[in-house]
Amino acid sequence: MTYAADRDGAEATVAAVRDLGGGAVAVHLEAGDPASAALAVDAVEGGLGPLDALVANAGTTADGVALRMPDAQWRAPLDVNLTGTFRAVRAVGERMAARGSGSVVLLGSVVGTHGNAGQVNYSASKAGMIGLMRTAARELGPAGVRVNLVAPGFILTRLTDVLPDDQRDALRRGAALDRLGTPEDVAGPVVFLCSAGASFIHGAVIEVDGGLAL
């Protein structure tokens, strides 16, 4: 379990895993730091042993209208969402390939395939993650490492909790299932892709959006 700023949240998750009889450690990872991913992998493998799966879920937004967006605002999501994910895949992929097995799951977004007004930088970062995933799948597949991407729609999190009711209602109506997603809706496909049951799923984009993109 890695974290950037919310150490307490990470430690709470670790405690919950341990209460269920699992093993877990909380490790600091700064997606914008080129060396951080490799150091985090060292720390995790030192505490728990070789990694069987990577779920790359670090992300940030810096929304704004494309034609008025300064370069620094444009770069922020790309540095974290795309470059940070690349560094994590690089750090883990080499070790998995040497062992001949592993599963990498990237957390993208439906805006990476469909775009979203006011999120040109975020959309570009998530679209780039699809290219990253498919290229990594081609390169790592022969070594026995599977790489896939889950693309959620609008999910109920702390970020959506602050939205006005009318805005959340509009997002809900946009999904064919007439509801927003939950973290559990996303967790299920991620866990499946990490499992032996998904052993022949490779290079796939799995949209988990309640029919938003229909």
Rounded alpha-carbon distances, angstroms, from residue 7 to 10, 46, 103: 5, 19, 26
Q: Is position 122 annotated as part of the catalytic site?
A: yes
Return the higher-pLDDT residue of 213 and 15: 15
CATH 1.10.443.10 fits 51-208, yes or no: no
**What is the C-alpha to C-alpha distance for residues 50 and 197, in angstroms, rounded to an integer?**
20
CA atoms within 13 A on the CB side of 210: 20
Q: What is the pLDDT of residues 15-58, one digit of tens each?
A: 999 999 999 999 999 888 889 999 999 999 999 999 999 999 98
Domain locations along the chain: 51-208
Spatial contact of 11 and 18, defined as CB atoms under 8 Å apart: no
Confidence of residue 214 (pLDDT cuts 50, 70, 90): confident
* Burial degree of 196 (CB within 10 A; 0-12, 13-18, 19+): exposed
**Average pLDDT in the 170-189 region?**
95
Sequence-ordered strand ranges (E) for the chain: 2-3, 27-28, 53-56, 102-107, 145-152, 205-208
Q: What is the 3-state secondary structure (H, E, C) of 175-194?
A: CCCCCCECHHHHHHHHHHHH
pTM of the model: 0.94
**What is the C-alpha to C-alpha distance for residues 73 and 54, in angstroms, rounded to an integer?**
28
Q: Which of 37, 84, 110, 122 is catalytic?
A: 122
Q: Biggest alpha carbon distance in the chain?
A: 51
Q: What is the pLDDT at residue 1?
A: 85
Q: What is the pLDDT of residues 138-152, one digit of tens each?
A: 999 999 999 999 999
